[in-house]
Structure 1
Amino acid sequence: MKARVHVMLKTGVLDPQGEAVRRALGSLGFEGVEGVRQGKVIELDLAEADRARAEEQVRGMCEKLLANTVIERYSVELVD
């Protein structure tokens, strides 16, 4: 089973990388982009076949390592 984890900064947390991308898009002629938030996607190949246990394991990974839950939020997507 595969898991896909999406990690983004929480609303209200400054995103300097997103702001740099927004400015760069404007300088390249892409007008009208009012905001950019940059995040990361982590794909995991799991040996676990039980969906509930797989999701529990991945959430544990997120809480302990993959996301800084003080400033980031995450979502887990399981893919068969």
Structure 2
Amino acid sequence: MAEIARKYQADNIVIHTDITYGKRVQEIVRYASQKQMDLIILSSHKLEETGPGEGWATISYRVAILAPCPVMMVK
């Protein structure tokens, strides 16, 4: 994580890295709120063509709904 952060910090992008423990969705939302984050970036899973209605309960989707700031999901 530190190596990736250094790469982007060279371009004057502020990146916070931290490790916390707990229930994933609740902990991400709590941390973002506590640190007054401007943006959360998460990876997302591709929805399957055979069951596009499934997968809406993913961690990234729940964080996007509950987060106190914008969430960018990247494939």
TM range (shorter): under 0.3
TM-score by structure 2 length? 0.27
Ranked by relative contact order (alpha carbons within 8 Å, sequence separation 6 or more), the top structure is: 1
Higher strand share: 1
Larger Rg: 1
TM-score by structure 1 length? 0.27
